[in-house]
Chains A and B, each alone.
Chain A
Amino acid sequence: MSYIAKPIISHPGLPKNALGLTLRDYEGSVSTLCAGCGHDSVTAAIIQAVFELDIEPHMLAKMSGIGCSSKTPAYFVQQAHGFNSVHGRMPSVTTGANAANRDLMYIGVSGDGDSLSIGVGQFVHAIRRNLNMCYIIENNGVYGLTKGQFSASADIGSLPKKGMPNQQEPIDPVSTALSLGATYIARSFSGDKEQLVPLLKGALLHSGFSLVDIISPCVTFNDHEGSTKSYAHTRQHYHHVVNVDYIHPSEEIKASYEEGEAMPIHLHGGDTILLRKVDDSYDPTSRASAFKYLRERFNAGEITTGLLYANESRDEMHELMGNVDTPLSKLPLDELIPGKDELAKLQGGYR
């Protein structure tokens, strides 16, 4: 991936977060993606979310696989460690990293090729483990770096720039995640920062696996007439059902939730997000009804967005395994080694 250092320009007037850091402190190197790429908007939303959540940069781990989307961790939070792994394998690396150190916040950025084709196995198993991470799919329906082949999320009938329309069933990451028991599932659009930023905040703070599937159009290979992942098509068929507001702990007392209109969800770490239903018939706490609703709207050609499912009650991976609270990577080795006498004792059984 190309690498262009950003000029350091001082802006004394920029607002600071609780750590005294400005939005600039959460930026990365200059993006080398195409001008107008949806992914750059997602990057900006991530920066905004992380800045507003007052996350210490080095306590964030940025994980990715291969593809246009997977380049983007270089473009945000310079002072966080990044791991740009191999194609489709970001979930396993994140699983290992999280197993070793549960104190960090994990954000994985993937694409529809990386997650739904080559990496579909790892994607589904990370969900099954309820790995505590925020998993972003920048979903554009095509392979960009290899110049425009369909991905597994391309809709039936969607037209490529050249050649035949797609005939294969798409894999929908949201319904896949629903069927696998993901505990925070959202969909959004790279062109709707207002919706996206709070969804990302909730996803980052959620304890367990959170999926944010973001329609993020490819301006070069999939933004033409007849494509179902273009800006125009998405804007036209985009349908909010549930919006989310993040309530900063300091503001919680002031926030009022009117019955039937807003539903607070208390996250493990003590934070709260507020669900605001746009469509009253939608129930984001029921997997069965969410699935039915999403399928029906999909059949009607709509792209349903918002926080589509949330479940704060299920234990994440470490809790399921019964691991100690201290990160395993920080346990002093001498405390882990049973020693000479134990070895002698044990070997009594080998005679």
Chain B
Amino acid sequence: MATVNDVVIKIATVNGTGSASANGLLRKSIFRMGVPVVGKNYFPSNIQGLPTWYEIRVTGDGYHARSNRVDIMIAMNAQTYARDMAEVAPGGWLVYDSTWPRKSLLNRDDITIIGIPFSRMCNQHFDGARARILMKNIAYVGAIAALLDIDVEIITALLEETFAEKKKLVASNMEAIQLGYDYAMEHFACPLPMRVEKMNATAGQIIIDGNTAAGLGCVYAGATIGAWYPITPSTSLMDAFRDFCSHYRVDAETGKRTYCIIQAEDELAAIGMVLGASWMGARSFTPTSGPGISLMSEFIGFAYYAEIPAVIFDVQRVGPSTGMPTRTQQCDIISCAYASHGDTKHVLLFPADPAECFYMAVTAFDLAERLQTPIMVLSDLDIGMNDWMVPELEWDEDYVPDRGKVLGAEELEEMERFYRYLDVDGDGIPYRTLPGVHPKGAYFTRGSGHTKLGAYTENSADYQDVLDRLLHKWETARSLVPEAEISFSKFNKAAILTFGSGDGACKEALDRLEAHNIGLNYCCVKAFPFTDAVRDFIDTHDVVYVVEQNRDAQFRTLLINDIDADQNKLVSLLHYDGMPINAGFVVARVLEEIAKGRAA
């Protein structure tokens, strides 16, 4: 039976061999045919020589998660032949470089082995070791095009766009495409029963990774200062900000910059710089990952208590400790929510895809200045570094940044005296002043005990007064953070609740469970503190499957802590092997719970 636009292609290569551009070309070609795709990169913490994989899920239904299945394996790395072959689903295909026959190794009889002599062909047609390696990658794109019926004209057009400045490269790349294409057409029955066909499901959609989108969001939020210390998988966020700024933020006449990126000596300094800049009134941010949050924690507590805005992007990776730096998890939930010593808690935002990374970047700056506190955007490697299809980003020209309660020179001039930590409006948010504006605005910013007037104190009542007011501010934050996405499929007492990158897999799982006649309601949480709607959602149900990507059910703990959710209702579905979560896992776990007698 033929399958159209529902196929997973996995490409096994060696890192550092330039396969990324070939894989991107393949992914884009399918997308240009109007077919939704998901691109996932599984790469080692290494620069050159170790196995790496790129997975393209062709999904006519437009799902966002990875599939836990491989239909076609392009096995270009002899080191991993055995495991790559084992991963192919029964009935699938394995394409390998038959320049060196591997008969004894490639011995599964429930899949079809396709040998194409990529190396031999490329050695005959191209000169130089580097060119031969690069062109071998392009050649497999050609072979897949033949096998899956991908439009070669679209590939040509993409190459012409990519190498608009270097026409010679278009010809050589096309030659390599043709080598793979022609060989496959000649030797195998093309296309395979699993193939790609043009459709119209990508109109108004783009493909983007979360770090690029977040970097762009910082530009659109008007951020001027980024301080950071390089750490996988957050590095590309600052790279993106730098690229966008070099385009949008350099004065055409003078060549001078309206942005400042500082590569700090460590994360301790990166967050210190953000606080200094925010204290001075600039929109300022730092991207990092879990280990960076650990180092920043002292300052995050300072910012909470001294009430200084800050925007922190935590692109989460697998812990504990160095963990697996190039694998994904949602494992910093608790360390971010309560970062630092003493009574501290912080506003967290949970983007579910790259588009939300863009919008939430802007929201984060608004909230940071409104609430005068650190806002952490908790993305992860899966969102940050993988290629997601999302609706085209939109910008509201009427957007007015929320700069919060900042007193200007005129207001200060008219005041008798300014006190930094007074709750004038009853919302727990005091007024602040910026240095260099007016002598009356001066105050001493400190992390030591202070009164509501801003003076140092060791007096119990005065200290507690400020601490309680911060709790009041926390409740104000609850009313300002982005609302959860909630959907009721039908009246039902069971539901799935997730956040961040769990969204794609859960939505797909809901569809699949529907096919089992199990209709679950759904809540995708967007922020901490949890809104009243999240509380009500849990209250309404008898069973809430809490889907998260860590071992210790950190999000469930947070639900219990923050809104006193009934822990007997909260059933954890935990995925923490470092790979992005998939719908099959969610479906299997829900069915397992139902089989145990849990309400559906």
Contact = CB atoms under 8 A, between A and B. Distances in A.
* Residue with the highest number of chain B CB atoms closer than 10 Å, among A1, A328, A343: A328
* Residue with the highest number of chain B CB atoms closer than 10 Å, among A86, A103, A340: A86
Contacts of A164: none
B222 interface: yes
Interface residues of B, number: 78
A278 B443 CA distance: 42
* Residue with the highest number of chain A CB atoms closer than 10 Å, among B270, B281, B298, B446: B446
B276 A98 contact: yes
A338 B271 CA distance: 26
B273 A82 contact: no
A64 to B, nearest CB: 9
A88 B596 CA distance: 56
Contacts of B269: 89, 91-92, 95, 121-122, 125
B262 A333 contact: no
A318 B255 CA distance: 13
Contacts of B128: none
A74 B444 contact: yes
Contact of B445 (A84, A322, A336): A84
Interface in B381-396: 392-396
Contacts of A338: 219-220, 248
A2 interface: yes
Interface stretch (A55-63, A166-174, A282-290): A55-63
A220 interface: no
A329 B299 contact: no
Nearest to A84: B446
B222 A100 contact: no
B256 interface: yes
A101 B255 CA distance: 19
* Residue with the highest number of chain A CB atoms closer than 10 Å, among B278, B282, B302, B433: B282
Given A83-B445, A324-B256, A350-B206, A99 B436 contact: no
A82 B258 CA distance: 26
Contacts of A2: 456, 458
A99 B260 contact: yes
Contact of B266 (A59, A121, A327, A330): A121
B594 interface: no
A80 B456 CA distance: 16
Interface string B81-122: 000000000000000000000000000000000000000000
A3 B265 CA distance: 34
A101 B277 CA distance: 8
B455 A3 contact: yes
A337 interface: yes
Contacts of B396: 340
Contact of A343 (B249, B394, B439, B456): B394
A20 interface: no
A99 B262 contact: yes
A71 to B, nearest CB: 9
Contacts of A344: 392
A347 interface: yes
Contacts of A91: 269, 272
Contact of B434 (A1, A325, A329, A334): A329
A101 B435 contact: yes
A57 B442 contact: yes
B598 interface: no
Given A86-B302, A340-B395, A351 B31 contact: yes
Contact of A323 (B256, B395, B443, B455): B256
Contacts of A124: 265
A92 B277 contact: no
Nearest to B208: A350
A86 B441 CA distance: 22
B437 A99 contact: no
* Residue with the highest number of chain A CB atoms closer than 10 Å, among B32, B222, B403: B222
Contacts of A327: 280
A218 B438 CA distance: 36
Nearest to A83: B445
Interface in B576-593: none
Interface in B28-64: 31-32
Contact of B447 (A84, A101, A323, A337): A84
The 3 A-B residue pairs with the shortest CB-CB distance in the complex, in nearest-first order: A96-B276, A92-B272, A96-B273
Interface of B: 31-32, 202, 205-208, 216, 219-222, 224-225, 227, 248-249, 251, 254-260, 262, 264-266, 268-284, 298-299, 302, 392-397, 399, 401, 403, 433-448, 455-458
23 contacts: A2-B458, A59-B436, A74-B456, A80-B435, A83-B279, A85-B447, A89-B268, A91-B269, A91-B272, A92-B227, A92-B271, A92-B272, A95-B273, A100-B282, A101-B281, A122-B269, A124-B265, A329-B282, A331-B224, A333-B221, A336-B219, A343-B394, A346-B216
Given A86-B298, A95-B227, 18 more contacts: A56-B439, A58-B436, A81-B444, A83-B445, A85-B447, A86-B302, A96-B275, A96-B276, A97-B276, A100-B281, A101-B435, A121-B268, A122-B269, A124-B265, A333-B221, A333-B283, A336-B224, A351-B205
Interface of A: 1-3, 56-59, 61, 73-74, 78-86, 89, 91-101, 103-104, 121-122, 124-125, 129, 318, 321-325, 327-331, 333-340, 342-344, 346-347, 350-351
